[in-house]
Amino acid sequence: MIGRRVLLRATAIALAAVACARTATPPGQAPPSVGTPRPVPAFDARALLDSGAVNFLMREGAQRSRVREDFQYLTDVIGPRLTGSAGVRRANEWTVERMRAYGVDSAALEPWPFGVTWQRGPLTMRLLSPHERVLQAVSWAWAPGTNGPVAGNVMYVDAATHDEYDRRFAGRVRGAWVMLSKPFPRTNPDAPDPADSARVDSLRTLLRAPKNLQQEAWPGELMARLAAEGVAGQIIDGGKEFGLLTMSGSPNDIAPVPMVVIANSTFSEFHRLLSSGQRVRVEVNASNTFGRDTVTQWNSVGEIRGSDLASEVVLVGAHLDSWDLGTGATDNGAGSIAVLEASRILGALKATGVRPRRTIRFVFFTGEEQGLYGSQYYALAHREELPRFQAVLVLDNGTGRITGMALQGWDELRPLWTTMMQPLASLGPFAVRSGNKTGTDHLAFLPFRVPSFNYDQVAKGYDHTHHSQMDVFDAAVPRDIGQAATIMAVNAWQLANVGLFLPRK
């Protein structure tokens, strides 16, 4: 799932896409007036409760699952899949080969233009003062290296405005390793103090409070000032428990100076030392490599063609790319394998001679972690076709089982979704709720008014594992991925066969 910093840029790009979109409403469906409650559309429940096809799909998912084998191959053999890397291209080719083997009608790679590539090199970091020790640290993605060991004092730069920076820090930061935030508040899970927990909750609320546009622009301006004044680099809070690190970055936001991520506990230690008047000095040696030119990347796309409504499409998707500290298991190997398994389950039904009415398309997006790029380029490339998209179903909240669906503003579809989940009751329980999901590829289709959804899931430690070095096979639950795959296959079949064409928003 994409990080908040990159999501802000992605949102701007998605809004720009609205100006390019041609969002014709299918015949007979006039868009409702703004602010007018939309009526509950009528639908034929028989297509949603079809016991023959639905029971076949559920048996296929339960009895002949390939989830564990495919998931292990993706994570343990192919490994990390940073967009622009050889690993993600290998994963692209493998998913196309697997879909063909699983009986889809066609599968291929669809290209899109990406920024420059970035390759992580080795990094060492040492604390030099007030004592010496080796620290755990990694480079932020799309940040340069240090070109050899670089030692410097650590400085907390907490200026909130231009004037404050000029008054307190201008001319004082050359050669420093700067921290630009307070530590993300964490409690001791083994011995929480009630007062400390209350303080943490208060700080978290403050850190997550909405900011105005001027506040959002300042961090970028501050970074440019710091780079111009010759800082050694930036130190970033890993923000997770147990020494886990986090990762993000984008070729659309190449760092002007080296940036290193350290454990939240170490970041907090530095703040305590500086607050008590101690000198903190570190040495960093980081080697990273940039490509020279814009490169082509790919989305893996397969489909099972429909019968009488073949021009209409149900898209089932997940992002195939990952960060490179682990092997991209929970973010989002789990979602990718669920989509791959859904293609196998539906391919098995097709092999019996039973086709869906609408086309079911399986898409493995890349570039999600850098800004939803793959899905946005896909939506733009297919914008003439998008008015005929029945729905987009995405899975990207970790390895836990599906628990239901957030309606993403299509609350009039609550009866439809509730009925769709009824034959899946043995895999539940499920809750169909009002609400909007953010941070992943379904967002790319919303500016085109396509009904687009991201399933709710059990967390299963997702906040700890995603973007971290522990995002590996052992953090995943193949049984739950299989449950998700079966649900996605059944829901895609239902949406492909129901007589209702979903309303535009």
Where do the structural domains in the chain lie, given as residue ranges?
A: 4-18+44-116+294-497, 118-290
Q: Which CATH class is domain 118-290?
A: alpha beta
Count of H-run helices and E-run strands, the chain: 15, 16
- pLDDT for 189 equals 61
User: 183: cis peptide before it, omega within 30°?
Assistant: no
Contacts of 49 (CB under 8 A, 6+ apart): 419, 422, 423
Side by side, the strands of the sheet bearing 133-135 are 133-135, 118-129, 281-290, 150-156, 177-179, 233-237, 259-262, 137-139
- pLDDT for 50 equals 83
Q: What is the DSSP string of 98-167?
A: HHHHTT-SEEEEEEEEE---EEEEEEEEEEEESS-EEE-EEEPTT----SS-EEEEEEE----SHHHHHH
Q: 443-455 burial, b if ≥16 CB within 10 A, otherwise e?
A: bbbbbbbbbbbbb
- pLDDT for 195 equals 55
Asked whether 1 and 465 are in contact (CB, 8 A), the reply is no
Contacts of 445 (CB under 8 A, 6+ apart): 315, 375, 379, 386, 389, 392, 452
Helix, strand or coil, per DSSP, at residue 9: helix
Asked whether 245 and 261 are in contact (CB, 8 A), the reply is yes
Please state, in angstroms and rounded to a whole number, the distance separating the CA atoms of residues 111 and 344: 24
Which residues are 106's β-sheet partners?
Answer: 303
Asked whether 299 and 378 are in contact (CB, 8 A), the reply is yes
Give the side-chain half-sphere CA count within 13 A for 7: 11
Burial class (CB in 10 A: 0-12, 13-18, 19+), 72: middle
- pLDDT for 201 equals 56
pLDDT in tens, the chain (505 residues): 887 555 545 444 444 444 444 444 443 444 444 455 678 899 988 889 888 999 999 999 999 999 999 999 999 999 999 999 999 999 999 999 999 999 999 999 999 999 999 999 999 999 999 999 999 999 999 999 999 999 999 999 999 999 999 999 999 999 999 999 999 987 666 655 655 555 555 545 544 545 444 456 788 899 999 999 999 999 999 999 999 999 999 999 999 999 999 999 999 999 999 999 999 999 999 999 999 999 999 999 999 999 999 999 999 999 999 999 999 999 999 999 999 999 999 999 999 999 999 999 999 999 999 999 999 999 999 999 999 999 999 999 999 999 999 999 999 999 999 999 999 999 999 999 999 999 999 999 999 999 999 999 999 999 999 999 999 999 999 999 999 999 999 999 999 999 999 999 8
Please state, in angstroms and rounded to a whole number, the distance separating the CA atoms of residues 94 and 91: 5
Q: 119-133 burial, b if ≥16 CB within 10 A, otherwise e?
A: ebeebebbbeeeeee
The correct CATH number of 4-18+44-116+294-497 out of 3.40.50.1100, 3.30.565.10, 3.40.50.720, 3.40.630.10 is 3.40.630.10
Asked whether 155 and 234 are in contact (CB, 8 A), the reply is no
Please state, in angstroms and rounded to a whole number, the distance separating the CA atoms of residues 271 and 19: 46
Q: Judging by DSSP bridges, how do beta strands 452-457 and 402-406 pair with one another?
A: antiparallel
Give the side-chain half-sphere CA count within 13 A for 40: 8
Q: Which two tokens stand for residue 147?
A: 């070109």
In this structure, the number of other CB atoms found within 10 A of the CB of residue 236 comes to 23
- pLDDT for 205 equals 53
- pLDDT for 194 equals 57
Contacts of 371 (CB under 8 A, 6+ apart): 2, 6, 7, 9, 10, 13, 250, 252
